[in-house]
């Protein structure tokens, strides 16, 4: 099972990724989480990534592609994986395609979670995340059981620095210009499936499981 999750920032990719990866027992590869871990540890990659992420811009393709290539070579990716937040440009999608081709493999599905722009600002400004395990919460739509604490690992949850209204608007523009073309890219390759991401979290998950059930 090799899944790509597509959709604008705030579509619910991270939220659904956790449930999908639990159910299908595949690693959740979130490029955003990998960058954030590097930023918190002040690695050279983290220092470079921060320059772009805090402004809402994409990290350059060559850096991102190398990082993902390395991650996909790991032992736990042998039987499949879910990519959340990658690819985000046509260049990245072509790189992934080359990577798969070299191994005689193909994508199972590119799942597009569709959410109109008017939902996104409220979702993103109310988002709270766990810096330790990456779980995503919301002040109104998905509150943790104990206020301020992650349900999964108990860490204090925080607001991401790039979840301000101004940065979210920039990220939406970047999505439209650079990532939206991937919808046609995957449609042309007959691997695109769409789900309505405006529904409740459990209903979106149910739709995704129905799609995945048909693919395996
Ligand atoms: P992405 O990874 O696509 O940027 P997240 O999964 O982090 O998005 O979700 C963004 C915010 O919206 C989070 O605060 C999350 O709790 C909330 N959220 C996710 N899915 C839904 C949904 N179906 N309905 C309402 N809120 C949601
Ligand atoms: P996310 O956690 O997916 O919302 O990603 C947070 C930020 O990390 C994005 O706004 C980008 O700046 C950066 N990022 C994540 N994935 C990629 C990618 N595939 N290509 C370039 N930048 C990325």
Domain boundaries, the chain: 2-27+74-117+165-211
Q: Whose CA is nearest to atom 18 of ligand 1?
A: 12
Q: Is residue 111 within 8 Å of residue 211, measured between CB atoms?
A: yes
pLDDT at position 47 is: 98
State the CB neighbour count (10 A cutoff) for residue 105.
Answer: 11
* Cα 123 to middle of ligand 1, angstroms: 6
Give the fold, CATH level 3, of 2-27+74-117+165-211: Rossmann fold (3.40.50)
Ligand nearest to the CA of 18: 1
Tell me which residue has tokens 């811009």: 57
Would you list the DSSP string of 9-43? TTSSHHHHHHHHHHHHT--EEEHHHHHHHHHHTT-
The phi and psi torsions of 29 (rounded to 5 degrees) equal: -105, 100
Closest CA to 64 of 106, 94, 25, 22: 94
Q: Is 127 a catalytic residue?
A: yes
pLDDT at position 1 is: 94
pLDDT at position 214 is: 84
The atom number, within ligand 1, closest to the CA of 201 reads 23
What is the C-alpha to C-alpha distance for residues 14 and 190, in angstroms, rounded to an integer? 24
Q: Per residue in 12-25, pLDDT tens? A: 999 999 999 999 99
Q: How far apart are the first and last CA of the chain?
A: 8
Q: Whose CA is nearest to atom 19 of ligand 1?
A: 12
Which residues of the chain carry a pLDDT beneath 50? none
What is the C-alpha to C-alpha distance for residues 204 and 198, in angstroms, rounded to an integer? 8
> What does the DSSP 8-state code read for residue 89?
S
If you count DSSP H runs as helices and E runs as strands, how many of each does the chain have, helices first?
9, 7
The active-site residue, picked from 37, 71, 160, 169, is: 160
Q: Is 160 a catalytic residue?
A: yes
The atom number, within ligand 2, closest to the CA of 85 reads 3
> Sheet holding 81-84: strands in order across?
28-30, 81-84, 2-6, 109-114, 192-196
* Cα 180 to middle of ligand 1, angstroms: 19
Q: Whose CA is nearest to atom 20 of ligand 1?
A: 12
pLDDT at position 216 is: 73
Residue 171 Cβ contacting ligand 2 at under 6 Å: yes
> Judging by DSSP bridges, how do beta strands 81-84 and 127-129 pair with one another?
unpaired
Q: Is residue 170 within 8 Å of residue 53, measured between CB atoms?
A: no
Q: Is 117 a catalytic residue?
A: no
What is the C-alpha to C-alpha distance for residues 112 and 6, in angstroms, rounded to an integer? 5
pLDDT at position 212 is: 95
Residue 92 Cβ contacting ligand 2 at under 6 Å: yes
């Amino acid at each position: 099972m090799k899944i790509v999750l597509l959709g604008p920032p705030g579509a619910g990719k991270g939220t659904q990724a956790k449930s999908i990866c639990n159910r299908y027992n595949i690693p959740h590869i979130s490029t955003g989480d990998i960058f954030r871990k590097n930023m918190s540890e002040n690695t050279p990659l983290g220092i470079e990534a921060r320059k772009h992420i805090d402004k809402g811009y994409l990290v350059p393709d060559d850096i991102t592609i190398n990082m993902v290539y390395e991650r996909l070579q790991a032992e736990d990716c042998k039987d499949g994986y879910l990519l959340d937040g990658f690819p985000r440009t046509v260049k990245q999608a072509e790189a992934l395609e080359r990577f798969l081709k070299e191994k005689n493999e193909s994508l199972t599905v590119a799942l597009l979670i569709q959410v109109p722009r008017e939902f996104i600002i409220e979702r993103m400004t109310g988002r709270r995340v766990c810096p330790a395990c990456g779980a995503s919460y919301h002040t109104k739509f998905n509150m943790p059981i104990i206020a301020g604490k992650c349900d999964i690992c108990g860490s204090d949850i925080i607001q991401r620095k790039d979840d301000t209204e101004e940065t979210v608007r920039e990220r939406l523009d970047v999505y439209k210009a650079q990532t939206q073309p991937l919808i046609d890219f995957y449609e042309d390759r007959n691997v695109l499936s769409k789900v309505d991401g405006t529904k409740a979290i459990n209903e979106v998950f149910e739709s995704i499981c129905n799609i995945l059930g048909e693919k395996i």
